[in-house]
Structure 1
């Protein structure tokens, strides 16, 4: 069966995502019965999950906006497996295609097809032929030049089982006596579902709702709500205007925990060569193409 645009529906994904979200709704009923440490652990896992995507697959591997030494790359790869959003290579490949062909049929989650499609619907259908054809024209060899990316890709399934489901469940049970039932549904299922939706909001809400102070001619927007949930990834008009900038936003007193994390790693000596857009370039772009909102 084909969906709109002639793309075949992937029923396995529809069923699995449906069950996952039902499990997350059920998990909410367990919150009052869970130990406080379990809820704090679930939030810690959420933050680690987020960093595996934002600081890892996104800013490091997709955009090469900074360089990370081996120990940090290993940590980010482990955190990325906890995120369970495809391995680093696939995530980065799709993201580069998204930037290159944003808001066209070659964009994996084209926001012009509506909120539902850009949020989750794109996972329910086979990729549009343009995504595959135009994606083949881009060079991704740098990703596989990294042994950490190759290792994670080779052992991705087992690393996801361990990091996304086993460890989040076992730690509360073993260390402070939480029930395996509560630990599984709260630290694994609910945490995973929330982290997925927060990431998807960058593709959907941040492409549809908000202002465009840097470039009013593109869809991506500055979205405060997404910024709060996605630990700094909601400054999306800025990011699509200056995708090479490691902060994905203008620096200053802005809420951007991912940037704070990268800066802390820089202080520890694990990060080098952070790329930034010069203030003069940012101001000139605002004046030339911005919507005047900042």
Structure 2
């Protein structure tokens, strides 16, 4: 949730609005995911959308699966990534006190929330050994979440994936899919947050806009039913 509902749909794309308690929770969850702070992740993701599959894309899929999956983290950013990123309007992120607080204390929050917290909870509450707690909810959980995210950068971009194709076409849609909550737990989560009053103003793409885009650039496989 710290990635999908938080830094992606809320902070990168502003596809809905979240009240303070939810923003705090999502920032906490984002530190637990340990994939760069909210400010840097959002900045790089906006560059990715604006310049997909070019040298200005941080994880340019045209450079191959390994690079787009994990290799981009082993090298310095391409100069065009830095150049294009510096030209983006990030005033909304700078004005968000939760975003800037997390950025200021990000390293400490990662140590505590991504590794110490998941290790101590199983040890304290149900007597798990510290070693198993560190290996499973600590390291293994972290590795699984990382690779799940990276597959969107690599596999979804190289071979295509319906939800992600829709998202790049209509990035402000909070559901990231024309099918709403079907197979989309993050959309269900956001809907529930709206139901209990912690979120609001969900942005959605109209069926008319979807059909118009399909007629203009579709491959004929779309089924409106």
- TM class, shorter-length: over 0.9
Q: Which has the higher contact order (CA 8 A, sep 6+)?
A: 2
Q: 142, 146, 164: which is aligned to 1:236?
A: 164
Find out whether 1:176 has 2:104 as its counterpart: no
Structure 1 segments, 4+ long, off by >4 Å, are none
Q: What corresponds to 2:48 in structure 1? A: 98
* Deviation string, structure 1 residues 163-202 (Cα, Å, up to 9, x no partner): 1001100111111111100010000100000100000001
Find out whether 1:135 has 2:109 as its counterpart: no
* Deviation string, structure 1 residues 192-232 (Cα, Å, up to 9, x no partner): 0010000000100110123xxxxxxxxxx32xxxxxxxxxx
**Structure 2 Cα separation of the partners of residues 172 and 86 of structure 1:** 26
Cα contact 2:30–2:37 (8 A) shared by 1: yes
Q: 82, 85, 91: which is aligned to 2:35?
A: 85
**Which consecutive residues of structure 1, in runs of 5 or more, have no partner in the other structure?**
1-50, 211-220, 223-234
Find out whether 1:262 has 2:212 as its counterpart: no
3-state DSSP of counterpart to 2:159 = coil
Q: What corresponds to 1:112 in structure 2? A: 62
Q: What corresponds to 1:249 in structure 2? A: 177
**Structure 2 Cα separation of the partners of residues 291 and 130 of structure 1:** 32
Shift of 1:288: 1.4
Find out whether 1:282 has 2:206 as its counterpart: no
CA RMSD of aligned residues (A): 0.9
* Deviation string, structure 1 residues 82-136 (Cα, Å, up to 9, x no partner): 0000000000000000001111000000000011100000001100011011111
Q: What corresponds to 1:145 in structure 2? A: 95
Q: 111, 116, 135: which is aligned to 1:161?
A: 111
Work out the number of aligned pairs and report it: 222
**Which consecutive residues of structure 2, in runs of 5 or more, have no partner in the other structure?**
none
Cα contact 2:60–2:67 (8 A) shared by 1: yes
3-state DSSP of counterpart to 1:285 = helix
**Structure 2 Cα separation of the partners of residues 158 and 252 of structure 1:** 37
